[in-house]
């Protein structure tokens, strides 16, 4: 635990504490009254209300549209199921900037809806809600569907034989067993939408602002660090409460159920109802997930002869100091370095947490590992600039700053992927190797590593994908001569002109292809034990 604790203390707790201290401390005294002053401002209260309201609405809409798909993937067997599973998961590993760009190409000015029917949704909250469903659809399908596929169907069949209707049997038998998974999925979706930044930044415009967007505005545009610090504390408290509830629901899901092999529960659709449900899910996936990505690709090809892609090789001398295409190579380099850091930190933390003799303090660190996913990435990024600017850790001019910020987001995914597999390793295998004279390092190399190799590769893949798309912190610390892909997309979208918009669509398409390729590799590597998150 020494290295993971030091890493999170140095590159997460310290930067966050630095920006909060800078904002709330004046002349050596804490300005606690500033908290009441900020949260009672009408515009801040509106931001708090909209952040909570849109997160609740996004969560409810995601559950409504994704739960039928969770059933289809869990209980039905049909051709192309594995490919469709990968398609459903693509939006989750895409950067939020790409998700926002895809919906902007669909519902924005000059988008598909505007061209066909003259309808624009980019100035309404519906664009944000639908983009959040697009991004979080896979969370519900994977989390709920993964458990649903392992529930013994004979329990519900027994209730049917005793006279219960299909709805009554599902409500009394299956739903209580699924409740912890549904709650866990809902909490994760709420967490991701409560801290939404890229989607709201692109689609919300000046009308809609979440806490994350407001922290960014107060930090980078208004330069009001005290207000940003108060909003960070508010978000920190809210996210902490969400994670406590999430940890409780996960424990219930892990300990309260007897599971079966998922391959034994899926059957070919039977009856008109199941075929109609399958068709409805396929239509939903096509319209909600595939269509925005297809429109994104189409808009990137509007210029004849791949004009927007060829323009990426030219430096405009304005927004970028280098050609936009340079961001592709920069992002790949940063993502590889961030993945290596995340795998080492997350792997060590997972190994410590998996020990059966781990103390309460070690187990409590499990919840803290999730905080970087919920605490403002904008705060972390700006905190890097404040905290890491003096010897012996003066990293403001170092290239490693970006991979460190990206690794903070990737490490929790490594832990969540590897921890169930490490816990499943029979401790007697390690003990037998130790009795035969193997050192602890050799025990790990000869016993644990062969069993967790696939989980390790899957964890590395997820860390690579999320590192590639990290935006909130990177937007502060990426240097103008080395922008990452998400930062380059956001900067191009912020500038007027068809060429800038087309280049943003082209870069978003490149980023989507890279993330999708990483995901397809994961699908080839995944096992039943490591494939759900």
Predicted pLDDT at 169: 79
Decide: pTM greater than 0.85. Answer: no
Element (H, E) at 30: strand 29-30
Phi/psi region, residue 501 (left: phi>0; alpha: psi -120 to 50; beta: rest), is: alpha
For the chain, give the number of residues. 533
pLDDT at 122 over 80: no
Give the C-alpha separation, 455 to 443, whole Å: 18
pLDDT tens string 348-391: 888 888 776 666 666 667 767 777 877 777 788 888 888 888 87
CB-based burial of residue 40 (10 Å sphere; 0-12 exposed, 13-18 middle, 19+ buried)?
A: exposed
Give me Rg for the CA atoms of the chain.
24
Which of the pair, 221 or 364, is modelled with greater confidence?
221
Query: 530 pLDDT band (50/70/90 cuts)?
Result: very low
Give the C-alpha separation, 75 to 494, whole Å: 45
Q: Tell me what the mean pLDDT of segment 148-153 comes to.
A: 75
Q: Are 525 and 461 in contact (CB under 8 A)?
A: yes
pLDDT at 57 over 90: yes
Q: Tell me what the mean pLDDT of segment 174-179 comes to.
A: 80
DSSP code, position 76:
B
Give the C-alpha separation, 383 to 432, whole Å: 47
Quick one: CA dihedral 159, 163, 164, 166, positive or negative?
positive
Element (H, E) at 145: helix 125-148
Predicted pLDDT at 182: 85
Query: 53 pLDDT band (50/70/90 cuts)?
Result: very high
Strands (DSSP E) along 177-254, which ranges?
Answer: none
Q: Are 444 and 450 in contact (CB under 8 A)?
A: no
pLDDT at 152 over 90: no
Alpha carbon 388 to chain centroid distance? 26
> Does residue 267 sit in helix, strand or coil?
strand
Q: Are 527 and 420 in contact (CB under 8 A)?
A: no
Identify the CA nearest to 381 among candidates 397, 400, 395, 401. Answer: 401
pLDDT at 463 over 80: yes
Strands (DSSP E) along 402-517, which ranges?
Answer: none
């Amino acid at each position: 635990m020494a290295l993971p604790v030091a890493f999170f203390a140095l590159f997460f707790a310290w930067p966050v504490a630095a920006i909060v201290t800078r904002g709330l401390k004046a002349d050596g005294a804490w300005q606690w009254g500033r908290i009441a002053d900020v949260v009672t401002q009408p515009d801040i209260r509106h931001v708090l209300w909209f952040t909570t309201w849109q997160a609740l609405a996004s969560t409810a809409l995601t559950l409504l549209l994704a739960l039928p798909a969770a059933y289809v993937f869990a209980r039905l067997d049909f051709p192309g199921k594995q490919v469709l599973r990968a398609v459903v998961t693509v939006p989750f590993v895409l950067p939020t900037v790409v998700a926002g760009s895809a919906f902007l190409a669909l519902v924005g000015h000059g988008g598909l809806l505007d061209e066909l029917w003259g309808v624009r949704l980019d100035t309404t909250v519906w664009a944000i809600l639908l983009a959040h469903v697009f991004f979080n659809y896979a969370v519900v399908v994977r989390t709920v569907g993964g458990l649903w596929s392992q529930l013994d169907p004979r329990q519900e069949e027994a209730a049917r034989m005793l006279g219960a209707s299909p709805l009554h049997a599902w409500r009394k038998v299956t739903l209580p067993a699924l409740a912890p998974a549904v709650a866990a999925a809902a909490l994760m979706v709420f967490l991701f939408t409560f801290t939404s930044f890229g989607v709201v930044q692109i689609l919300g415009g000046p009308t809609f602002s979440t806490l994350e967007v407001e922290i960014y505005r107060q930090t980078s545009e208004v330069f009001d660090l005290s207000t940003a610090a108060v909003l960070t504390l508010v978000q920190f408290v809210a996210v902490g409460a969400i994670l406590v509830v999430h940890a409780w629901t996960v424990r219930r899901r892990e300990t309260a159920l007897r599971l079966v092999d998922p391959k034994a529960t899926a059957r070919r659709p039977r009856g008109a109802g199941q075929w109609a449900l399958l068709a409805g899910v396929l239509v939903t996936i096509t319209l909600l997930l595939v269509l925005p990505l297809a429109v994104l690709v189409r808009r990137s090809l509007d210029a004849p002869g791949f004009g927007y892609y060829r323009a990426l090789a030219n430096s405009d001398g304005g927004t970028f100091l280098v050609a936009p295409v340079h961001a592709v190579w920069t992002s790949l380099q940063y993502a590889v370095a961030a993945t290596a850091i995340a795998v080492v930190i997350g792997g060590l933390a997972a190994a410590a947490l998996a020990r059966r003799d781990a103390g309460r303090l070690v187990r409590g660190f499990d919840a803290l590992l999730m905080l970087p996913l919920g605490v403002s990435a904008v705060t972390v990024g700006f905190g890097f600039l404040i905290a890491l600017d003096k010897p012996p850790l003066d990293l403001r001019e170092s290239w490693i700053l970006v991979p460190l910020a990206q690794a903070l987001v990737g490490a929790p995914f490594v832990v969540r992927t590897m921890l169930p597999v490490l816990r499943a390793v029979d401790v007697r295998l390690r003990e037998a190797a130790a009795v035969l004279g193997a050192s602890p390092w050799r025990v790990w190399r000869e016993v644990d590593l062969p069993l967790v190799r696939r989980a390790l590769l899957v964890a590395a893949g997820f860390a690579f994908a999320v590192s590639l798309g990290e935006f909130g912190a990177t937007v502060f610390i990426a240097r103008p001569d080395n922008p990452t892909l998400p930062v380059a997309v956001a900067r191009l979208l912020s500038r007027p002109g068809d060429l800038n918009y087309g280049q943003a669509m082209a870069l978003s398409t490149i980023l989507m292809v890279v993330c999708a390729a990483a995901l397809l590799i994961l699908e080839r590597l995944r096992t039943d034990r490591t494939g759900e998150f």
